[in-house]
Structure 1
């Protein structure tokens, strides 16, 4: 897989489809890698230049010493677009990636035609809880976190009927870089974009999981009420909705992009 240097990190990425078509870039959730977007890559690569990457500290990207900041996570995306000579893109991020998308919409609006933020919030969780998780991971590694991850990611019926999918994601998390994961936890601890949402001018789609215990429909409604040009789609899924309900997820993105072209 190709890589490029973004400040202090080596970022692993992949592209799919025709580079002359509109660019659509996907950003992964905490503890996953860009392969989490396979159903979206398969669906969108015929009509878009699909770009996926591993967030710093994840997958095959490097994990420079943290803590990281949401500004670093966002700048990595801008640097990747520059590396690929993409002037404007549509951004789609989930959970941590969705927070990155909000930062980009606030600070780099000229680089994005549309921003899609999924299963996320303007502030995710509580600062101390993230700092405690970072400390736990540095002390004990990622296995304890991985052992409980499926219940945060998916509904129980999905877990029971898709064991291979769940096992792969769980194993990827357990095998990940503990320092990189902890440093991203520290970015999430500090990231709070609630007061800046009103500055967003880019069209935004918010995807909220009806059964998501991590970032709730109420979190989505909070963003919807404050972002001037936003729509929300509620999906009957838990936290990783693009994997749990790929058809509905892809359809929602298609309809959003077609409606505002």
Structure 2
């Protein structure tokens, strides 16, 4: 499938090293707002919407992770960027893993947040695909977002939860479903050993979607030299534990910037 021109926001000093921020299924590039201020002090920060999400085009599905990664590479080419640090959460982390093994010369470092190299039980994706196909994405938003944050944090931050639900509900049905199809067949375990970029894995201690065991552990054990940091958060740890996540992302990317 041909690459699409991803909607993106490009901020920070033009002469700084570049970090790309790529989010979860059902999110928009707004999910990275907690990181922008700190990261733009050191980096040129490019936030992207996946195909089928936010302001990006919605080509016919199904999609594959190779398609999503191809879009990212096309954006880097369009911007004249040879090498970047990549930070991705959930589906964005999967794109990062694909780039790390299949386009290693483009990646200076990887930060993989609350993500997975494979879903051994694909029932959740089969059910999600069927639900979106029959009733659209919007009715699922509340249930999806309930897995993104711990109940205690969500109760204390209702405005953030409401905004996150709008991201999901606003995702085009066709794009959301086609990305679910990419996740259903995603299995990068045999390629983890080909990743050469310094890799930090950030996990949420109470993440019900990609828990530490087996998801984060599989990545850490498969990627040479990868290290694991576990935060007190659920799936969107970059929001729920924003200060700590931002510090880890910044330190890791800065240590390997070129």
Smaller-chain TM-score bracket: over 0.9
- Distance (Å, rounded) in 1 between the aligned partners of 2:20 and 2:53: 17
- Distance (Å, rounded) in 2 between the aligned partners of 1:7 and 1:83: 15
Structure 1 residue 124 corresponds to structure 2 residue 119:
yes
8 Å contact kept, 1:150–1:159: no
| 1:8-39 C-alpha deviation (Å, 9 max, x unpaired) | 53421110011211000000100010010001
Partner residue, 2:220: 224
Partner residue, 2:82: 87
Instruction: Using the TM superposition, give the Cα deviation of residue 171 of structure 1 relative to its aligned residue in structure 2, in angstroms.
Output: 1.5
Structure 1 residue 251 corresponds to structure 2 residue 247:
yes
Structure 1 portions without partners, runs of 5+: 1-5
Instruction: Using the TM superposition, give the Cα deviation of residue 142 of structure 1 relative to its aligned residue in structure 2, in angstroms.
Output: 1.2
- Distance (Å, rounded) in 1 between the aligned partners of 2:4 and 2:121: 27
The equivalent position to 1:11 in structure 2, one of 2, 6, 9, is 6
- Distance (Å, rounded) in 1 between the aligned partners of 2:173 and 2:250: 36
- Distance (Å, rounded) in 1 between the aligned partners of 2:128 and 2:33: 28
* Alignment map for 1:66-85 (pairs within 5 Å): 66-85=61-80
Instruction: Using the TM superposition, give the Cα deviation of residue 253 of structure 1 relative to its aligned residue in structure 2, in angstroms.
Output: 1.7
Partner residue, 1:212: 207
* Alignment map for 1:1-261 (pairs within 5 Å): 7=2, 9-124=4-119, 126-218=121-213, 219-260=215-256
Secondary structure in 1 matching 2:76: helix
Partner residue, 1:3: none
Instruction: Using the TM superposition, give the Cα deviation of residue 131 of structure 1 relative to its aligned residue in structure 2, in angstroms.
Output: 2.8
Distance 1:225 1:8, change over 3 A: closer
Q: TM-score, normalised by structure 1?
A: 0.94
Structure 2 portions without partners, runs of 5+: none
RMSD: 1.5
8 Å contact kept, 1:66–1:183: yes
8 Å contact kept, 2:3–2:70: no
Instruction: Using the TM superposition, give the Cα deviation of residue 260 of structure 1 relative to its aligned residue in structure 2, in angstroms.
Output: 4.5
- Distance (Å, rounded) in 1 between the aligned partners of 2:92 and 2:255: 23
- Distance (Å, rounded) in 2 between the aligned partners of 1:255 and 1:172: 29
Distance 1:48 1:260, change over 3 A: closer
Instruction: Using the TM superposition, give the Cα deviation of residue 127 of structure 1 relative to its aligned residue in structure 2, in angstroms.
Output: 2.9
